[in-house]
Amino acid sequence: MKAPAVAYDDSRSRAREDGGFATKRSERPRGLDALRGWWRRADVPAVLLFAAAYVLAYRFGMAFSASSAAPFWPPDAVLLTALLLSPPSRWWILVGVALPIRLFTAVPAGTPFAFLLAVYAVDSAKGVLAAAVLRRVLSEPPRITTVRAFAVFGLVAVLLVPALGAVAGAAARNTLGHPFGASWQQWFMGNAMTQLVLTPALLEMCAAVRRPWRAMDVRRWVEAVLLVLGLVLTGAMAFNQGHEGALVTGRQLYAPVPLLFWAAIRFGMPGASAGVLIVVSLSMKAALERGGAFVGQEHDVIALAIQQYWFLTAAPLYLVAVLVEQEAEVKRSLVESEARFRNMADTTPAMIWMSGADGRRTWFNRHWLAFTGRRPDTEMGEGWVDHVHPEDREHVVLGYRGARDSRKPLTIEYRLSSEDGHYHWVLDQSVPRTAPDQGVVGYIGLCIDITDRKRAESEAHAHRMELARAGRVSTMGQLASAMAHELNQPLGAILRNAEAAELILQQEPLDLQEVRAILSDIRRDDQRAGAVIDRMRAMLKRRDLEFEPLTVRQLIDQITVLLRNEMLARRVTLQLDIPSWVPRVRGDRVHLQQVLINLLVNGADAMDGAGYEPRRLDVQARLADEQTVTVAVRDTGPGIREDDLSRLFEPFFTTKPSGMGMGLAISKTIVESHGGRIWAENNAEGGATVSFTLKVADSRGDT
Amino acid sequence: MSIHNGTVYIVDDDASFLASAARLLRRSGFMVEAYPSATMFLAERKSDAPGCVVADLEMPGMSGIELQDVLARTEHPLPIVFLTGRGDVPTSVAAMRRGAEDFLTKHAPKDELVSAVKRALERNEREDRERTRRRELEAMFARLTPRDREVMTHVLRGRLNKQIAADLGIDERSVKRHRTNLMTKLQVTSVAELSHLAHEAGIVRPDGDEAEAIAATPQTVA
């Protein structure tokens, strides 16, 4: 199925080479080389071929009576064909070659030299004029295969130019004594008919010769041979048999017509052209011999009959052939574009698939099959799903179904088993295919292997987790005393209660009610201590991000319990400004609390020195835009040196004597893994503010 | 059933610990009042009631140390036993330097807590007594005229009447009269007694040289 495209391209490129000779004049070779170069440039064989054809056509044209204009004037068709096949820069050669032929061959005795020159000039002008117009319309190689080309050809080469030429020709004949009106009509009719019938056929023949040989199957061959036989037979029947008056009454003249249309419909322009040439030559032979249908007819009558016959036959015949060609061209370009797509899809280093409207896969490119090591028949339909990793299968199937229902593009990642038996991560991006009037007719998807990227990502993720954990541990170090205090409260209460109970047990009367109250208090304090330990463990635990919708208030409330004593010991007041209309954010509770703890402890550290009273930490939450909540932690400390502002979030950057310099770096990592950003600035009224953004939780729920 | 004179005021913002500590001290025989914050305690305390304070060191609002400062400035300061969740050395040093009775962790042994509270209550009683006596002495000395006081200063230095008269530029009889007046007002009969009382009232520094001088005076007079 690729052949047409290739053939087309070849013929085009060759045509360009032919036409390009005029530009190859950059050097001037000498001697034999010069001769060879000239030979090649002038394309001498082609010129000789033209000359031979022209001589033949001229003699044939002149074979009709010299007493009137020729009813059939092939030289015009030969010249126009040759001109259309040559670049304009070579037209002078062709026109020049025609001159001696016109002057010295088959000249009827007594024709004035001036008349011959005039007629030659008129014919040459006609040819050049028609060629100049037509070459703008016809593609390369010049063939009449579209309705537009046919219309322009008919208007210019068949009607306009012959009409103009006939004026000049009739004027020339008028000088020889022929009446102008009759001469014009004869001249015009002869020229027009020849152009209509012969030029498309000649162009077709030349194109066929230049076209590379294409294999035709046996049945087509048989059909073609039958057609030729039929045309020869019916043509002979139409024109070579007959009796006097057959031309006027003979219905057998139309015997070849059905076969001509058959040829046109089945073989397009080449078929129509070949058929026309066969029947034309038969009709001309009969006309020249005045035999068959033309027995006993006058020259004028024969000419008119032939002209009418061919006008009426050739015009619709070529039109049908052109329509067939156009249709074939549409099909060819479809096939070609399909082939081009397949070719491209097969050579792309990505896996490509297509599905139909029902979502079932209908096609996989070569790369997919090579990657998965499977045959198309096992992959078609739903077969390919079997090779998706079992854990990803549901996700993939639901993903495609959802996209199909909503007719949206889909980007999805999943693991696909490859030929080597290992699962590879692929990124599959698919878009709906649409057809005019049909909407979505399926999907086309492109997959790339992202295993390496995935591995790098997961390594980076593990690295981030490790850092976050390290940060938690170091912050936990700073918080250890606060945690100890937090534990000492309930533990102290338990001890005191136990001691009180011991005393009660030694006293009379035994106050059982008080003992019960004490036991209940002990249990409550024990749970309190347990909760403290759970919190600590949760913070130390190594875990992945778990996103959930959270309120900033929840986040801060849980850590103020942890930080309460730390803040008290450092004489820091914590003030919260978190309006209830600030929406929930999407985030990992423990990690975000880690960030808040880092910022609060940093703020408290900053205010440790003297002179920053009252020591205040303000936590403020605001809705920055529809999608973003900003949380700001503001202190009343000394602020941050301008030089340090930019380096604040770098790992191991610290201004504290005992700091590791990881707190803010880790906070940055955490915030960024939540899709937010974090920054620090100095307050106009003193102190610093560190702010970070979080994404608003999706109201439809969160995954 | 109280065996101690005075109330134990417990101040702690942790309700659970406050309740348990109050319970224990009550069962240990103390009169106990519990307050969730220092400001509440200060607002409700009777200023002359005897007792001691057991306070958490770290509290929101007024801290334990601040409470200690406020109490120290009142007419009847109460001894404080500090409790803390953490064994924070610098803070405890500061607290002790300001006169805290003790500094205990929240889960210190019961006996330590009870004995610290006992010591604090005893100290409160002692200091109370001392404060009362000092006020009596001050009242007695306040009855002296300025001339009485001048004469007394010289007497305490062991000067003779004649010398005092010369020093003050008055005659010897006047000196004798002032001497009799002040001995009467201070209810003492000898210079030795006067010297003792002056020491107790803190009018004379317990200086070695002066003490000798004072000790020698009665013999000279006799």
A407-420 per-position pLDDT tens digit: 888 888 888 888 88
Higher pLDDT, A272 or A254: A272
Tell me the pLDDT tens digit for each residue of A610-642.
677 788 899 999 988 888 999 999 998 888 888
- List the single range of A207-221, A222-236, A681-695, B167-181 with lowest mean pLDDT: A207-221
Rounded to a whole number, what is the distance in Å from the CA of B106 to chain A's nearest CA? Answer: 5
Q: Which residues of B touch A (CB under 8 A)?
A: 14, 16-17, 19-21, 23-24, 26-28, 58-60, 63, 83, 85-86, 88, 105-107, 110
Confidence of residue A10 (pLDDT cuts 50, 70, 90): very low
Query: In chain A, which among 668-687 make CB contacts under 8 A with chain B?
Result: none
Give tens-digit pLDDT for A113-144. Answer: 888 888 888 889 989 999 999 888 888 778 88
Taking CB atoms and an 8 Å limit, are A488 and B106 in contact across chains? yes
What pLDDT is recorded for position B36?
92
| pLDDT bucket at A241, cuts 50 / 70 / 90 | low
- Residue contact B14–A493, C-beta within 8 A: yes
* Max avg pLDDT among A116-125, A288-297, A515-524, B93-102: A515-524
**In this complex, do A488 and B107 lie within 8 Å of one another by their Cβ atoms?**
yes
The answer to whether the Cβ–Cβ distance between B16 and A565 falls below 8 Å is: no
Quote the pLDDT of residue A18.
43
Whether residue A495 lies within 8 A of chain B, CB to CB, comes out as yes
- pLDDT (0 to 100) of residue B131: 85
Q: How confident is the model at residue A67 (pLDDT cuts 50, 70, 90)?
A: low
Rounded to 5 degrees, what are φ and ψ at A353?
-140, 160
Name the residue of chain A whose CA is nearest to B12's CA.
A489
Q: Which residues of B fall within a CB distance of 8 Å from A493?
A: 14, 16-17, 19-21, 106
> Between A535 and A68, where is the model more confident?
A535
For the stretch B94-133, pLDDT in tens is 777 777 888 888 878 889 999 999 999 999 989 888 888 8
Return mean pLDDT, chain A: 81
Confidence of residue A342 (pLDDT cuts 50, 70, 90): confident
How far off is chain A from B80, nearest CA to CA, in Å? 19
pLDDT at A377: 82
Higher-pLDDT residue of B47, B179: B179
CB contact under 8 A, A488 and B63: no
pLDDT band at A702 (very low <50, low <70, confident <90, very high): very low
Residue A9 has pLDDT above 80, yes or no: no
Question: For position A243, what pLDDT does the model report?
Answer: 58
Q: Mean pLDDT lowest for which of A5-19, A132-146, A532-546, B116-130?
A: A5-19
Residue of B nearest to A492 (CA): B107
Quick check: A495 and B28 CB within 8 A? no
User: What are the strands, taking DSSP E only, across A650-698?
Assistant: 678-682, 688-695
The answer to whether A568 faces chain B, any CB pair under 8 Å, is: yes
**Contact criterion met (CB < 8 Å) for B86 and A528:** no
CB contact under 8 A, A500 and B16: no
Beta strands in B106-207 (DSSP E): none
pLDDT at A656: 66
pLDDT, position A522: 93
Q: What are phi and psi of A620, to 5 degrees?
A: -125, 135
More confident of the two residues A629 and A14: A629
Closest alpha carbon within chain A to B60: A568
Tokens 């011959």 appear where?
A: A116
A497 touches chain B (CB under 8 A): yes
Enumerate the β-bridge partners of residue A576: A619
pLDDT band of residue B30 (cuts 50, 70, 90) is: very high
Residue closest to A636 by CA, chosen among A659, A663, A653, A612: A612
Residue type, A68: S
Q: A373-401 pLDDT, tens per residue?
A: 888 888 888 888 888 888 888 888 888 88
Query: A25 falls in which pLDDT band (50, 70, 90)?
Result: very low
Share of chain A above pLDDT 70, in %: 82
A535 CA: distance to closest CA in chain B (Å): 19
Q: Which of residues 427-486 of A touch B (CB under 8 A)?
A: 481, 484-486
What band does A697 get if pLDDT is binned at 50, 70 and 90? confident
The alpha-carbon gap from B54 to the nearest alpha carbon of chain A, in Å, equals 14
ipTM: 0.71
Range with top average pLDDT, A373-382, A649-658, B69-78 = B69-78
**Average pLDDT of the residues in A79-86:** 89
The reported pLDDT for the residue numbered A2 is 37
Three-class DSSP labels, A398-459: HHHHHHHHHCCCEEEEEEEECCCCCEEEEEEEEEEEEECCCEEEEEEEEEEECHHHHHHHHH
Q: Is A503 on the interface with B (CB under 8 A)?
A: yes
Cα distance from B109 to chain A (closest Cα, Å)? Answer: 9
With contacts defined as CB-CB under 8 Å, which chain B residues touch A518? 20, 23
Question: CB-based contact (8 Å) between A66 and chain B?
Answer: no
End-to-end CA distance of chain B: 56
DSSP string, A114-170: HHHHHHHHHHHHHHHHHHHHHTTT--SS----SHHHHHHIIIIIIIIHHHHHHHHHH
Phi/psi of residue A584, nearest 5 degrees = -70, 150
